[in-house]
Amino acid sequence: MLYQKYKYLAIIAGLLLNLSANASDPQIHMLVDTCIACHGTDGSSVGSATPNIANMREALFIKAMQDMKSGERPSTVMGVIAKGYTDNEIRIMANFFNQQQAILHRQNFDVQKAQKGRQLHNLYCNGCHTIEGPTDLLSNNLAGQQMPYLRHRLTEFINDADPTVSPLMKNALKHFIDNNSQESLDYLIHYYASLGGK
Ligand code: HEC
Ligand code: HEC
């Protein structure tokens, strides 16, 4: 587990090594204009199947873009979109979206499910996707993430459809399902949605 964590950290650190995202404002806006149609002006998506990317960690953003660009990570639209950008442009966009403050839109969630989800999150997920406590550099903050996107992503992980998923996440998910059930992942999705706008 610790070894895996260091190995993953090394990959992430490697992606950040050449991070010299120098670009002028008009250049940046030319690049991100395409993205905001789906991901929202500030990276806070309004379409429910599109993830929020505001404030996303740069290394994870770059990894996601490159994995979708290569086709290793399955995607509906992003594979084609990502192919249109160079490594440097991806770095510039990673930096831009990282600087945007996440605006968490309100979603319809079930209060009771969200309460159960909070407990499960603190037991099984908060160690990496920190919501309460200091942030972990290796994983994204899931607070306010779009419910259909979360459902879709977890299903991909369960079905082994994404070979780029971190082994840390794979093991955590297996541990969760072994001790609970696949259905109770729904509580977690309601919990993350409950952290969005009121
Ligand atoms: C047509 C809508 C659309 C556009 C335009 C779009 N995206 Fe996406 N984006 C998506 C969807 C949907 C996903 C989920 C993966 C998939 O199904 O393609 C996604 C996923 C992502 C992810 C992965 C997030 C994560 O949490 O792993 C990143 C990063 C991303 N997009 C960045 C961008 C950037 C940068 C641009 C502009 C160059 C862009 N997107 C343009 C719809 C869009
Ligand atoms: C040991 C660390 C660890 C634990 C525990 C963990 N994860 Fe993850 N998770 C990761 C890493 C690393 C990634 C890949 C980077 C990222 O997307 O955040 C990830 C990715 C994800 C993603 C995809 C995010 C995206 O933007 O596409 C979801 C959803 C997720 N985890 C949910 C959970 C849930 C729910 C739990 C608890 C049952 C959990 N994780 C527990 C490390 C962990």
pLDDT in tens, 157-182: 999 999 999 999 999 999 999 999 99
pLDDT digits (tens, 9 = 90+) for 67-101: 999 999 999 999 999 999 999 999 999 999 999 99
pLDDT of 24 higher than 60: yes
- Distances, alpha carbon 9 to alpha carbons 6, 40, 91, 131, 137, in Å: 5, 29, 18, 20, 8
What is the model's pLDDT at position 4?
Answer: 73
| pTM of the complete model | 0.93
What is the model's pLDDT at position 39?
Answer: 95
**Helix, coil or strand: residue 11:** helix
Q: Show contacts of 76-79: CB within 8 Å, 24+ apart.
A: 77/38
pLDDT range class, residue 190, cuts 50, 70, 90: very high
Nearest ligand to the CA atom of 78:
1
Per-residue pLDDT averaged across 110-126, rounded? 97
Nearest-CA residue for ligand 1 atom 23 is 64
Longest distance between any two alpha carbons in the chain, whole Å: 51
17 compared with 5, residue with greater pLDDT: 5
Nearest-CA residue for ligand 2 atom 2 is 128
* Domain coordinates in residue numbering, the chain: 2-99, 111-194
Per-residue pLDDT averaged across 180-186, rounded? 96
Pick the CATH number of 2-99 from 1.10.760.10, 3.30.230.10, 2.60.40.680, 2.60.120.10: 1.10.760.10
- Are the folds of 2-99 and 111-194 the same? yes
What is the model's pLDDT at position 141?
Answer: 87
What separation in Å is there between the alpha carbon of 165 and the centre of ligand 2?
Answer: 9
Nearest ligand to the CA atom of 74:
1
Distance CA(118)–CA(110), nearest Å, equals 12
What is the model's pLDDT at position 8?
Answer: 73
Express as a percent the part of the chain with pLDDT over 70.
93
pLDDT, mean over the chain: 90
Q: Report whether CATH 3.90.1710.10 matches the domain 111-194.
A: no
Q: Which of 39, 53, 139 to mutate to test the pocket of ligand 2 (most atoms within 8 A of CB)?
A: 139
